Structure 1
């Protein structure tokens, strides 16, 4: 997984561990926003990852709304937590 310097700083600032970023990149709900592909950790994605493990589901819910923005080459541009709706274009 390749990340820009900006994405690396943002993931640290927003307390998003690398394993969560990998899960978002692998399983995240795709949303096209502002010319980039955003992958978000939503409730459906959490259910898919956790399967029937309630403890895992609870630990992942802490990161619900976290998302990454990817370039067309697959590099992570930024990492953030959703505080309002994503603008779609």
Structure 2
């Protein structure tokens, strides 16, 4: 998945390792924000799938990064990444 320069800079500033972005791609839930953007984050369901695949202890070790999210365009380019501090409110 292609990342914009902005997304690369924000990932470095916010301390998100590249494997967290891979976990978001694999286990993340998508919500459409409108305007051609999609947010991907790890829900409870995604975390349970991770625990099933990797085990409970490795997922517990990763817990400091599991509040991550990424915003991408509908063509697949990652626009930005960050840590969730509040519940996501998305248009349905």
1:16 aligns with 16
1:41 aligns with 42
Give the 4+ runs in structure 1 shifted more than 2 A: none
**What's the TM-score, normalizing by structure 1?**
0.87
Deviation at 1:81, TM superposition (A): 0.6
Deviation at 1:41, TM superposition (A): 1.7
**What's the TM-score, normalizing by structure 2?**
0.84
Change (3 A) 1:63 1:42: farther
Query: Which 5+ residue runs of structure 1 have no aligned equivalent?
Result: none
Query: Which 5+ residue runs of structure 2 have no aligned equivalent?
Result: none
> Which residue, 56, 59, 66 being the options, matches 1:57?
59
Question: How far, CA to CA, are the matches of 2:90 and 2:56 in structure 1?
Answer: 32
Give secondary structure in 1 for the equivalent of 2:66.
coil
1:3 aligns with 3
1:86 aligns with 88
